[in-house]
Structure 1
């Protein structure tokens, strides 16, 4: 089954060219089924790029998914046309009375900014708190995972001395939970962050169960006991060239970044990188939608508590 998105959203054309089944709103109104409702809070600067990446992940499922796009505030964006934001995005005030089967909160380039200095921190806290009773399961990606640890567990920001950037090997620690069903015992996933998610720190200060971990990158996947909060510290949604673009951006800014680890062929930044994490990325999102959202959500969202 398809994901349902607005007719003219750029992602619709891109995904259709990739032979991904996308149902526009015009066609979807004639479907007599109960689709899943997923809210995407997009904190990334290049919102169109992130929309495409995440909707590609959500499309790999037999379930029909209706996606609503949410922005954190009305500040002007340097990387996304205002017409795009005004056409496709809603403010929190417009959705806060709704209930959703799933919520995804993206990462944000705020790794070195203290939470209290983030201009929209209070609004983000309100949304995360709101998700407790208005969303069946929430997926926190990268920086959003660190923000959620602050909101739910009172944990202060944990920051690495140097940025973690590259593709790292992870160990699956749990064999039977459906969220990691089909995962290899060891798998690759990309990271791009200053946040630190050390396993011993997470185990000592939370009740989260860690499903996957890396010697170099720390915790990759952790889940709350009731499955309503899922923490993904990396970027399984990234395209093959996303780390490259970030690296070249930082080089251009004179930041002298370290080359992403285990990413370029022969460790040569002049060569074209390839995705080595795509299959597990799709599997993670499909499992989340099926087992943590569809299998747990009430048919009548009004009864969600």
Structure 2
């Protein structure tokens, strides 16, 4: 089934070139089907790249998906045009009366800042609190994962001695959990961050379940025991070249930048990297949409017995 996107969204043409079934809003309205409504709070600076990465994964399932992009009102991104934001994005005040089947909160390049020092922290916490009542399942990625662990469960972050950047091997703690159904016993995934969270603190928390970790990169996939919150500290959504782009950006800003671990062939930045995590990326998003969104969300939110409204 297709992913439904706004007409003229730049990512649409690239998705079609990749043979991903894309349907524009006008045609989608004519179909008698209940699509999943997914809200994406996109905090990444290069929003169009993140749009493409997430839409590619959301569009590779048998489910029809409507995507709404959310931007912060308290901070305007400097790396995307105002016209793009005005055309394809909405703000929290414009959607907080609605309910969504799923939500994604992305990473953001602000991890070295204290959470309370982030200019849009109050807005993000308002969104996270609203989502607990008005969204069936929330996937939090990288900084979004650390923010969710901190806000919902009091699990803080700490700065690493050096940036965790590269492609790391991970293990699964329980292969019977639906989110990691079909995963290999060991698999690789990209990380790109300056901070981390304590694996001991996550394991000891009564409301959390550690599903996957790396001996080198630490905590990777955490799930709340009520299945509401999913925290992914790395970037399974990344393209093959994303870490290379970040490496080149960092080199342009500073000397002695380390090459991402296990990424470039023979650790040579002049050689093209390969995407060795693609299969597990698609599997993770497929499992999330199927087991945590589609099979759990009400067919009609209006029929939920207990009325749950959130007011700001």
Secondary structure of 1:210's aligned partner: strand
Does residue 188 in structure 1 map to residue 188 in structure 2? yes
Instruction: Note the 1:112-261 alignment, pairs <5 A.
Output: 112-261=112-261
Does residue 21 in structure 1 map to residue 21 in structure 2? yes
User: Which residue does 1:68 correspond to in 2?
Assistant: 68
Shift of 1:116: 1.4
List per-residue Cα deviations over 1:152-208 (Å, max 9, x = no partner).
112333221211000000001111111111100000000001121332121124521
Secondary structure of 2:191's aligned partner: strand
List per-residue Cα deviations over 1:253-298 (Å, max 9, x = no partner).
1253211000000111111111100000010001000000001111
Instruction: Note the 1:27-66 alignment, pairs <5 A.
Output: 27-66=27-66
Check conservation: 2:75, 2:119, Cα contact below 8 A.
no
Greater displacement, 85-94 / 67-76:
67-76
Give ranges in structure 2 of 5+ residues lacking alignment.
Answer: none
d(CA) in 2 for partners of 1:278 and 1:218?
Answer: 20
d(CA) in 2 for partners of 1:265 and 1:206?
Answer: 42
Q: How many aligned residue pairs are there?
A: 305
Does residue 283 in structure 1 map to residue 289 in structure 2? no
d(CA) in 2 for partners of 1:197 and 1:75?
Answer: 26
Secondary structure of 1:223's aligned partner: strand
d(CA) in 2 for partners of 1:19 and 1:76?
Answer: 33
Check conservation: 2:74, 2:123, Cα contact below 8 A.
no
d(CA) in 2 for partners of 1:206 and 1:10?
Answer: 43
Greater displacement, 194-203 / 139-148:
194-203
Secondary structure of 2:189's aligned partner: strand
User: Which residue does 2:79 correspond to in 1?
Assistant: 79
Shift of 1:74: 5.6
User: Which residue does 2:263 correspond to in 1?
Assistant: 263
TM-score of the two chains, using structure 1 as the length reference: 0.97
Check conservation: 1:129, 1:151, Cα contact below 8 A.
no
Q: What RMSD over aligned residues (CA atoms) do the two structures have, in Å? A: 1.2
d(CA) in 2 for partners of 1:272 and 1:13?
Answer: 24
d(CA) in 1 for partners of 2:132 and 2:3?
Answer: 24
Secondary structure of 1:62's aligned partner: coil
Give ranges in structure 1 of 5+ residues lacking alignment.
Answer: none
Indicate how the Cα distance of structure 1 residues 238 and 83 shifts in structure 2: closer, same or farther if over 3 A, else same: same
Check conservation: 1:166, 1:261, Cα contact below 8 A.
yes
d(CA) in 1 for partners of 2:204 and 2:261?
Answer: 29
Secondary structure of 1:292's aligned partner: helix
TM-score of the two chains, using structure 2 as the length reference: 0.95
Shift of 1:60: 1.1
User: Which residue does 2:95 correspond to in 1?
Assistant: 95
